[in-house]
Amino acid sequence: MPEIPDLEAICGFMNQHLAGLAVAETELRFPWLVRSEDGLDRIAGHRFESVHRYGKFLIFEWDGDIAMVVNPMLTGRFTWADPSERRRPATAITIVFAGGNELRYSDQRKMGRWYVVPSGEVDSVPGFADLGPDALEIDEETFVAQLRRRRGMIKNTLTNQKFMAGIGNAYSDEILWEAKLHPHRTGSTLDDDDRRELYRAMHATFDWARPLLEAQVSERLYQRNEEWRDHLRVHRQEGEPCPRCGSAVKAQVRSGRETNYCLTCQPLFA
């Protein structure tokens, strides 16, 4: 699932390449992915102004006070393409811009959701109003205060979108490795120094990952079927040496979700 660094890189590319372009037409291979009554008809003829991210949602702004909110879910992927380029088999939505280039959205599992709403009504999108503060917007004091009230496993807290929006399975592993905290440590075992270290590790991880992801899309936006994860230090690195201490990275799978960590750097018991 795309997380903050992935989506930040995508937003940066789109804001650079789509700025001021008008929509010539839209093509919906699977119309039911767009949950608005008139599909994408409302954006036809309108110009792209900007796109930004909140949590794992992308919010496109068009002239005329129109917002298009996209939740890519697990397998939603974007491609910026010339019309002559072959489309992916799972291409579900195509936005054709004046001048010919196309923004294509593919979705192997067809789980993504698109909504077109007035710019001031983004909170009406299902699930949006339930989100906690965005992980890049929450300040340290608020983070520490809210985390004091959380007693469960720290990885589950980081990935709980109602607690804080934008972090998923992959980057929670990376943040916890950076903070030297075991993912199964519970909130009750943390002190405020641990909480502050976790907050700073979150920002350090995003600051480290963002330019790597931006480099992936700098020339041409193209998302592989799998997210960009080759650069990660512990996530999906079972058996590989920890970049910090050299011990083998461990893996544990629960409910189909893999968690990776270094037991030497991240002891379960403080």
Q: Which of 16, 43, 46 is nearest to 27 (CA)?
A: 43
Residue length of the chain: 270
Instruction: Say whether pLDDT at 220 is over 80.
Output: no
Q: What SS3 class is residue 14?
A: helix
pLDDT of 167 reads: 97
Are 8 and 118 contained in the same domain? yes
Are 96 and 192 contained in the same domain? no
> How far from chain centre, in Å, is Cα 264?
29
What's the mean pLDDT in 34-48?
95
122: tokens are 């983004």
What domain range is 52 assigned to? Answer: 4-124
Q: Which pLDDT band, with edges at 50, 70 and 90, does 245 fall under? A: very high
Q: What is the domain-level CATH number for residue 159?
A: 1.10.8.50
188: tokens are 């009750």
Using an 8 Å Cβ cutoff, are 118 and 145 in contact?
Answer: no
- Write the CB contacts of 204 (distance below 8 Å, at least 6 apart in sequence): 178
- Write the CB contacts of 68 (distance below 8 Å, at least 6 apart in sequence): 40, 43, 59, 60, 62, 114, 115, 116
Using an 8 Å Cβ cutoff, are 179 and 265 in contact?
Answer: no
pLDDT of 255 reads: 84
- Say which residue, 74 or 207, is predicted with more confidence: 207
Instruction: Say whether pLDDT at 219 is over 80.
Output: no
11-57-201-207 Cα dihedral, nearest 10 degrees: 0
pLDDT of 134 reads: 98
Neighbours of 216 (CB within 10 A): 20
Using an 8 Å Cβ cutoff, are 109 and 77 in contact?
Answer: no
Taking the C-alpha atoms of residue 66 and residue 218, their distance in angstroms, rounded to an integer, is 27
Instruction: Say whether pLDDT at 225 is over 80.
Output: no
Q: What is the domain-level CATH number for residue 68?
A: 3.20.190.10
Instruction: Say whether pLDDT at 108 is over 70.
Output: yes
Domain boundary among 124, 148, 170: 124
Instruction: Say whether pLDDT at 28 is over 70.
Output: yes
Using an 8 Å Cβ cutoff, are 152 and 122 in contact?
Answer: no
Four-residue CA torsion sign, 17, 18, 22, 25: positive
Instruction: Say whether pLDDT at 226 is over 70.
Output: no
For the chain, the first-to-last Cα distance in angstroms comes to 31
244 lies in a domain?
Answer: no
266 lies in a domain?
Answer: no
Instruction: Say whether pLDDT at 40 is over 70.
Output: yes
Neighbours of 229 (CB within 10 A): 14
Q: Which pLDDT band, with edges at 50, 70 and 90, does 222 fall under? A: low
Are 65 and 95 contained in the same domain? yes
149 lies in a domain?
Answer: yes
Are 19 and 104 contained in the same domain? yes
Are 10 and 59 contained in the same domain? yes
263 lies in a domain?
Answer: no
Q: Which pLDDT band, with edges at 50, 70 and 90, does 23 fall under? A: very high
Are 97 and 164 contained in the same domain? no
245 lies in a domain?
Answer: no
pLDDT of 228 reads: 77
Q: Which residues pair with 250 in a beta bridge?
A: 261
Q: Which pLDDT band, with edges at 50, 70 and 90, does 224 fall under? A: low
Are 147 and 219 contained in the same domain? yes
270: tokens are 């403080």
Q: Which of 156, 162, 149 is nearest to 184 (CA)?
A: 156
Are 33 and 82 contained in the same domain? yes
What's the mean pLDDT in 195-201?
98
pLDDT digits (tens, 9 = 90+) for 131-177: 999 999 999 999 999 999 999 999 999 999 999 999 999 999 999 99
- Write the CB contacts of 151 (distance below 8 Å, at least 6 apart in sequence): 186, 187, 188
pLDDT digits (tens, 9 = 90+) for 67-99: 999 999 989 999 999 999 999 889 999 999 998
Using an 8 Å Cβ cutoff, are 262 and 177 in contact?
Answer: yes
The domain total for the chain is 2
